[in-house]
Amino acid sequence: MRLLIATLLALVGSSISAQDLLGDLRDQGLGFAQVTPGQSLQFPRDHAAHPEYRIEWWYLTANLSDQEGRQWGLQWTLFRQALSPQQVEAGWQSNQMWMAHAAITTPGGHYHEQRFARGGIGQAGVNRISEDGHFNAWMDDWEWKSTSAGLFPASLRFSIGEREVVLLLESTGELVANGIDGYSQKSAQGQASYYYSQPHIRVRGFVNQGLEKTDLTGKGWLDREWSSQALADNQQGWDWFSLHLDDGYKLMVYQLRHDDGEHWLSGNWISPQGETRLLGSDAINLTSTRSVEISTGANQSRELPMEWKLTLVQQKRSWRIRPLYEQQWMDTRFPYWEGVVLVEDENGAPSGVGYMELTGYQ
Amino acid sequence: MIKALLSHYWRHPWQTLFLGIGLVAGVALWSAVQIINQHAEDSYRQAQSLLGAQAHYWIRSRRDEGIDPDTYIRLRREGFRQLFPLIELEVSTAQGTSISIIATDLLALPGDSFDAGDSTREFSQTWLNFIQPPYRAWVPAVLAQELGLEPGEQLELRDGRRLPPALIQARAQQGRRVLMDIGAAVALSGQDRFSYLAVGSIAPHRFDLLAASLPDHLELIENQQHVDLRELTQSLHSHLTAMSLLSFAVGLFIVFNAVRFSLWYRRSTLLNLRLMGCDNRLLALAILLETLVWSLLGSGFGFAIGVLLAQLLLPSLGASLQSLYDAVVEINLGLSPWTLLQAWCISLFGLLWALAWPLYRQLRHSSFEAARSENLLADETRVRHWLALAGLLLAAVATIAYGRIETVTGGFVVLGLVLFAAAWLLPVMLAAGLRLLACLLPARLLLARWMVSDGWSQLPAFRSAMMALLLALTANLGVGSLVDSFRSAFVGWLEVRQSADIYLRAPQVSHEQLLDLAADGNWLADSHHRIGVSTRWRNRPTLVRGIDPTAPDSLTLPLSRWQGDSAGAALQSWREQADKVLINEQVHFLAGVEVGDHVSLDGDRGSRDYEVVGVFYDYGNPYFQFYLPDQVVAKQWKHYHSRGIALWLNPDNEAAMQQAEASMRALGAQPGDWIARAQIRRLSVGIFDRTFAITAAMNLLTMLVAAIALLASLLAILQERLPQFAQWRALGLRQSEQLLLVATPLLIFCGIVWLLSIPLGALLSWILIHKLNIISFGWSMPLIWEIAPALRLALVIGLICGLTLLLVAFQWRRQMPLALAQLGETV
Amino acid sequence: MLTIKNLCKSYAFADARQSVLQQLDFDMEASSSVALRGESGSGKSTLLHLIAGLDRPDSGEIHFAGHAIHAAPESQLAELRRSQLSLVFQQFHLISTLTVHDNIRFQAALCGRQDPAYESELIERLGLADQLVKYPQQLSRGQQQRVAIARALLHKPMLVLADEPTGNLDEASSLEVMALFSDLVRQAGSSLLMVTHSRAMAGFMDRRVRLHNGILAEDE
């Protein structure tokens, strides 16, 4: 469940306020292909775009450190949207729209960039596996280029302003299907998406900032999701976490906040060996412990929950989650907070790193 | 005390109104032009931007073949995100109106330019509709109004194609163009090549990389439009400024007139105030305060009306600038407080001269001069003579300066000198006219002589109004004759120059193919494929054209000067020798190149010298232009553009036009790629007329201001002389005779002014055509002088006089009874 | 020739109407002369204006030469004024843009009566022969008044209305001008109604009346 749904669906809306945009997210997506249970994911086919669905994304986050041990974070996302149910993919009249986001959390500050492009003319896209046998996702000179039909091993190049990022990505484990075999339910009313992840990515690379080159290594997390509808009527926004724990476990948890306080919680508990356990609302205890006023632009601020307590009931484990630093606001067309978080166990000892995403806060 | 001084304005609301109108009208006309000029200048400054995005460089095909989308995508994927594609199209509506289309990919605009023109940060349905079939055509409100286009309507083109549904909306720097998605333009034109790419702000090292990445057939050109436009259009704006200053001057005459009247009435007030012990310093302060109040009122209202006026005039001027100079002028007016401040300064300055100074003089003399009203006639004669002397002096200065005119501003200064010399000499002329008429009238026509001689009493009151009228008439006739001369020269020139039946401009159609195809039918009589190179010469945009020396239009090329015995001989030597060149008048007049001079042109294969053998007329072209035989251009330049093919149809073949169109279509040309002679002529003349629409409007408004001056003077006369009129009524004068008494001098004066304005107008247009036009635009034309406009103006003056007399008669009916009853009372 | 009955005229002042003439009756014979005296503001000039049709009465009737002045339209009044009436004012009211000669002939020219012999005589008697080509403002006041008199008499009107005709002159020239004036009026066969303060001037007239409290009474 990622923010981009909102951002790109904003494209469809004639409305302006974020509340209204979320309203568009609740659109039933009539005429588009629908997400149904019992469809098994197939690879490499499903790495490529699904233009018959309304929204789709390729979403990478990475927690990295430099040679001095300082924490860095990277985020790179390619987002696709179909503007109409009619399938017109090629040429200027293509109904496919692309957006890309990139952000970098450095010891010196947080930077981001967004881009847009229309489909059909080759400026942005994710190629069909059949074309040259290699997975390739790009917008202008931002590019994910795999040496195989799968997603990995791959190189990823992008830039944020004058900062240039070059990464080598290798998977160290299997892909993980979220929900039930990749069918991820988003509400009791039946909203759902196809959703798989690769939480086991070894990342090596460097960032050029002017004349200064910094080598980085660390762990990445890729999310792939597509759907034609997303939020239920009573859902305001969401809080999403992807955590790399020091003991080798990976944890994905999200909370869709409901008007009545009965939030929809879901997650995936992934062992170092790649075994997954679907977590339902009863299995997760997520509470915010501290809210902070974050500056979101000139003379503007929003109050956001910056520190959280997360408990997995069955696993009897509990963590405190706080941001590396608070100013990781994404001042994009649909603004939200996303950035590097640090994980501590009950005793306050560092026990992991990850990414947090907060949307729908006014 | 101030109340005592100002009470005059309450007691004579008419004169107050006139003072106000004069001031407001003057300021309004001046500030309207100022606002337009300022606005145009701002637009030129924005010429480094396009549709809200920066455009510092252009990428163009060297051979005018457009740009392949694959090249664009490749450059984008190499990281040149500063690039965005553009397609420009010219289409004709079903009604024959020409419209420009600009198309781009809004999503590809670099940086934050995305947001330019949108009030929200979000995408909206508007954007989605824009980029998705059936697309939308964003039409600026003014253009939509002109075309009578409703939102959602699909404008029909001459060939039956339709534009996407209209949305009344515009982006920054869209000007009068229709904006649509590039996908829509591709669908409309049936070809997917871009006209050019724009390059936004780019770092120097990236620029070098970009230059290196470009394929050979593309070139990277700096966008110098903001510099070029300012230079090219400067003359036009100077013309407008001069006209607005003239209007302001005419407005000031009204103020002057109203002030003269107010002085008359406030003499006693001033005297009383002084007797009551107000010292001069205090009175001067009061007068200054009065001036200040008037200047604030005048500039405030004048500016407001000026804004409205500017809004009315801007669309046609914007259209002209776009068609003549490719200058995109924003349709929505931007206002700067600076202009308002200027308006206030100029009105304050005018008032200090026309209101404060006369008042102050009155103040200093009021004590002893009030009693000597019988000396007024003598005073009047003295004023007349001084004015005449000053006028003669101005005329002398103008004569001396005439030979030394070098700049546009200098030219207008001379024009101003001539006009004011004439205006100041006018009172003497009017007096002479009265004297002459008095001599001519037989002694026994006592009443007639009386009516003429009464002119002496009216002359002081009419002096400034007549000067204003003279200025307005002269300007009207002079500028009118300029426009007429230009129009006739232009139309005649079009006739000769655009002699082909069809002009085809389609890069995909080659001349050879067309000739091959034409060989099968008998529709083509002759053809002319012209090539050209766009370059800069002496830092001005310049066209070097390669033309077929034996084509019909080359053989009859109209020359204004030539080497040797005849134009024909000069053309022949140009045809036969590769080192001869023809230049347009702009090169001759603006760059000072004479026949026989040698000019050096930089080709791709080095620079070469050519001898100038002739100068051709090139009306309306702001650029320098050189004509070389096509062989020479092809030899000297590697990359030249096709500048289109001119086709002469077989006059004996009635179906020639249909066959020609079919052939062009067969070769891949789209309707709209060619244009027929009749249409090109209609378009050109349309552009011409639109360009001068603003001139006509300014002329009309100036006439209106002069008419108000006349009315104000007449009413002032009425007020001042009411007791006198009453006396004559007591002698048994009929009402009609009395009206005749007022009308006769008025008509005499107007007649004299009209007669004077005819030669003066001719002089004005002579200077405009033979000096200013050449300095400003670099082209010449014969002066055409006709009597019809002067007769029309006579009619207008007659109407104005009739109207004002009617008003006077009406006023009399109201005021005469009281004046009669007060007759004989001691003053 | 002139008959006035029940003539009333009042003026509006600040906030009240002030009655000037109250049911005034007056008769005047042809070829007679009457001096009209009265205090300042008693309505002497008003009466003159009403007779000349320059002002309208509130009520009452004025009959002159068979015309009902009180009811006549403006055009008819203009005709009467130009041919049968003459007005002579203290300020002369000469036309500054015309010569003395033209000024003299002005009213005669208006009504189209030409009598060169009488014209020469008038000019001769008024002593204006040397001044004819001059302009009025070049003459002395006495001369200007003579021009005004000549203008008033040249067309031989039925009635001359004079309002302090010598008010602007010193006493010596007043008497001289007045003697000449009354003589010329008599010679022309016109009547003269003259407003004056001066007992001496009134002495030149056949009859003297005094206006007091809006009513006329014979004056001694």
String of DSSP letters for A55-97: EEEEEEEEEEE-TT--EEEEEEEEEEEESSSS---SSTT--EE
Q: What angle do CA B290, B294, B298 make, to 5 degrees?
A: 175
Is C54 within 8 Å of B374 when comparing Cβ atoms? no
Residue B220, helix vs strand vs coil:
strand
Q: Tell me, what's the pLDDT at B231?
A: 67
Please report which residue ranges of chain A form alpha helices under DSSP H.
4-12, 18-25, 129-132
Burial of B27 (0-12, 13-18, 19+ CB in 10 A): buried
Q: Could you tell me which residues are beta bridge partners of residue A342?
A: A322, A353
pTM beyond 0.80: the answer is no
B351 dihedral zone (left: phi>0; alpha: psi -120 to 50; beta):
alpha
Reading the block at residue B216, the tokens are 């050979």
Q: Tell me, what's the pLDDT at A341?
A: 94
Residue C187 to chain B, least CA–CA distance (Å): 21
Residue B721 to chain C, least CA–CA distance (Å): 12
* Contacts of C172 by beta carbon, 8 Å cutoff, 6+ apart: none
Reading the block at residue C212, the tokens are 């007091």
Q: Which residues of B touch A125 (CB under 8 A)?
A: none
Q: Which residues of A touch B125 (CB under 8 A)?
A: 12-14
Task: For residue C198, give Cα distances in angstroms to B149, C160, C171.
Answer: 87, 18, 10
Mutation site, B737, B815, B823, interface C, largest C CB count within 10 A: B823
* Contact by Cβ (8 Å): A229, A275: no
Predicted ipTM beyond 0.95? no
Residue C215 to chain B, least CA–CA distance (Å): 20
B242 dihedral zone (left: phi>0; alpha: psi -120 to 50; beta):
alpha
Residue A121 to chain B, least CA–CA distance (Å): 8
Beta-carbon count within 10 A of A158 CB: 25
Phi then psi for residue B781, to 5 deg, are -165, 160
Torsion of CA B443, B448, B453, B457, to 10 degrees: 160
Q: Which residues of A touch B126 (CB under 8 A)?
A: 14
Q: Which residues of A touch B183 (CB under 8 A)?
A: 91-93
Q: Which residues of B365-404 are buried (b: 16+ CB within 10 A; e: fewer)?
A: ebeebeeeeeeebeebeeebeebbeebeebbeebeeeeee
Kindly list the partner chains of chain C, i.e. chains with 3 or more CB atom pairs below 8 Å: B
- pLDDT by residue (tens digit) across B80-107? 888 889 998 888 888 877 788 889 888 8
Q: Tell me, what's the pLDDT at A24?
A: 47
Q: Tell me, what's the pLDDT at B17?
A: 79
Count of all residues that appear for chain B in the document:
827
Is C102 within 8 Å of B733 when comparing Cβ atoms? no
Q: Tell me, what's the pLDDT at B112?
A: 55
Q: Which of C75, C93, C97 sits opposite B727 (nearest CB)?
A: C93
Judge whether C65 is closer than 8 Å to chain B, CB to CB: no
d(CA B582, CA B629): 10
User: Which positions of chain B have pLDDT values less than 50?
Assistant: 113-122, 367-373, 826-827
* Contact by Cβ (8 Å): B467, B253: yes
Q: Tell me, what's the pLDDT at B533?
A: 84
d(CA B486, CA B780): 9
Q: Tell me, what's the pLDDT at A27?
A: 54
Helix (H) or strand (E) holding B91: strand B83-92
Amino acid at B541: P
Judge whether A278 is closer than 8 Å to chain B, CB to CB: no
**Residue A359, pLDDT above cutoff 80:** yes
Judge whether A95 is closer than 8 Å to chain B, CB to CB: yes
Is B183 within 8 Å of A92 when comparing Cβ atoms? yes
Q: Which residues of B touch C82 (CB under 8 A)?
A: 731-734
Reported confidence tier of residue A230, pLDDT bands at 50, 70, 90: low
Judge whether C40 is closer than 8 Å to chain B, CB to CB: no
* Arithmetic mean of pLDDT, A195-217: 92
Judge whether B732 is closer than 8 Å to chain C, CB to CB: yes
Q: Which of B78, B105, B122 sits opposite A118 (nearest CB)?
A: B105
Chain mean position to CA A124? 19
Residue of B nearest to A164 (CA): B79
Q: Which residues of A297-309 are buried (b: 16+ CB within 10 A; e: fewer)?
A: eeeeebebbbbbe
Amino acid at B144: A
**Residue A339, pLDDT above cutoff 90:** yes
d(CA C60, CA C83): 24
Q: What angle do CA B375, B380, B383 make, to 5 degrees?
A: 125
Report the sign of the C-alpha dihedral through residues B40, B42, B47, B51, in that order: negative
Q: Which of residues 175-214 of C touch B (CB under 8 A)?
A: none
* Contact by Cβ (8 Å): A151, A177: no
Phi then psi for residue B741, to 5 deg, are -60, -40
Q: What percent of chain A is modeled with pLDDT above 70?
A: 89
Beta-carbon count within 10 A of C11 CB: 14
* Contact by Cβ (8 Å): A344, A319: yes
Q: Tell me, what's the pLDDT at A129?
A: 56
User: Which positions of chain C have pLDDT values less than 50?
Assistant: none
Task: For residue B432, give Cα distances in angstroms to B427, B438, B595, B749, B756.
Answer: 8, 10, 50, 11, 13
Mutation site, B119, B123, B201, B205, interface A, largest A CB count within 10 A: B123
d(CA A270, CA A280): 14
Residue B727 to chain C, least CA–CA distance (Å): 7
* Contact by Cβ (8 Å): A251, A243: yes
Residue B77 to chain A, least CA–CA distance (Å): 4
d(CA A174, CA A200): 7
d(CA B579, CA B598): 10
Residue of higher predicted confidence among B314 and A60 = A60
DSSP B333: P
Residue of B nearest to A139 (CA): B77
Q: Tell me, what's the pLDDT at A352?
A: 93
d(CA B182, CA A91): 11
Q: Tell me, what's the pLDDT at B116?
A: 35
Q: Which residues of B touch A122 (CB under 8 A)?
A: 70, 73, 77
Beta-carbon count within 10 A of A335 CB: 18
- pLDDT by residue (tens digit) across C7-52? 888 877 767 778 888 888 888 888 888 988 888 778 888 888 888 8
Is A92 within 8 Å of B186 when comparing Cβ atoms? yes
Is A16 within 8 Å of B182 when comparing Cβ atoms? no
Q: Which residues of B touch C135 (CB under 8 A)?
A: none
